[in-house]
Amino acid sequence: MDRRKLLVAGAVLAVLALYAVFVPWLSGVDDRVTDFAAARQGPSSSHLFGTDSAGRDLFVRSAAAIRTSLLIAAACALLATVIGSIVGAVAGLWGGWVDRLVMRSTDAINALPHLLLGIVIVAMFRGSIVAIVLSIALTHWTQVARIVRSEILGLRERPYIDAAVLAGASRVHVIRRHVVPAVLPQALIAVVLLLPHAIWHESTLSFLGFGLPPHEPSLGTLLSEARSSLLLGGWWTLVFPAGILVVATVSVAVAGSSLRGAITPPKPSELRL
């Protein structure tokens, strides 16, 4: 069942990726060029998703938006996973007072409201993609750190680790041969599971006006622009971007959940030193 869900979610994500990459390229339409004479036209054969309040084709603009949102979310998930893996590895490998200090600091950061902290960061550098990536990554690494730390603490209790140490293996050898192969699958799962959170946070920041500028297409900016059009009857300006957002996040979440069930950490032989 998990494999079937993973295949379906992967197929949906593949379609979204092809849509995001090829539609803006093949359409030959600049999604930032305005044409007020064609403003707020409903879905038709010439404009499959209709047009927005500035006359821009929503089918093309939505493709560019999902591409931007997915790229930002991927960068956020990767950076958050790297930070969390480093912090969790330091806490798990050193133990003692270092572990206690690192994890109490992690608890303090985790107690802060993520969205408010993200708004504070992006408000200082409004419109900066780097600020958006940092604001999401710096508030979402804590769970990764806990997972990596837990995995390493479990490894330290296994007999083959003790055997490697008694055989004279160095700390670097133990980390490279045993710790890294066990942590990598968890890091991969963390990247996938962080993607939907990153997409929602980026969309929320842009929707609130703290993310990308309005002329840059992202799912958040499209939803923000849809507020005024919706009051004038332009339902399509909300339905299609919101539908893409839901489909993308649900597909990524299902893929991550299925991947977590399918991937198991490697079990090195106790005699492999």
Any domain includes 240 = yes
Q: What is the predicted pLDDT for the residue at 270?
A: 40
Tens digits of residue pLDDT in 68-117: 888 998 899 999 999 998 898 888 888 788 888 998 998 888 888 888 88
Question: Does a structural domain hold residue 215?
Answer: yes
Name residues whose C-beta falls within 8 Å of residue 103's C-beta, 6 or more positions apart in sequence.
91, 146, 149
Would residue 271 count as lying in a domain?
no
CATH number at residue 108: 1.10.3720.10
Predicted local distance difference test score (pLDDT) of residue 273: 37
Alpha carbon 79 to chain centroid distance? 10
Q: Please count the structural domains in the chain.
A: 1
Tell me: pLDDT of 240 over 80: yes
Task: Dump pLDDT digits (tens) for 20-38.
Answer: 888 888 877 777 777 777 8
What pTM was estimated for this model as a whole? 0.81
Q: 174 and 184 in contact (C-beta within 8 Å)?
A: no
Residues of the chain above pLDDT 70, percent:
91
pLDDT digits (tens, 9 = 90+) for 174-222: 777 777 777 888 788 888 888 888 888 888 888 888 888 877 888 888 8
The verdict on residue 35 lying in a domain is no
Judge whether 156 lies within some domain: yes
pLDDT of residue 188: 81
Q: Residue 174: which domain range?
A: 1-20+58-264
Structure-token pair, residue 243:
């539908």
Asked whether residue 132 is domain-assigned, the answer is yes
Classified as helix, coil or strand, 57 is: strand
Structure tokens at 230: 């919706």
Residue 9 is assigned to a structural domain of this protein: yes
**Distance of alpha carbon 269 from alpha carbon 76, whole angstroms:** 35
pLDDT band at 243 (very low <50, low <70, confident <90, very high): very high
Sign of the dihedral through C-alpha 162, 165, 171, 174: negative
Residues 38-53 pLDDT 10s: 888 889 888 889 888 8
- For residue 52, being part of any structural domain is answered with no
Name every residue whose Cβ is closer than 8 Å to that of residue 209 and which is 6 or more positions away in sequence.
Answer: 224
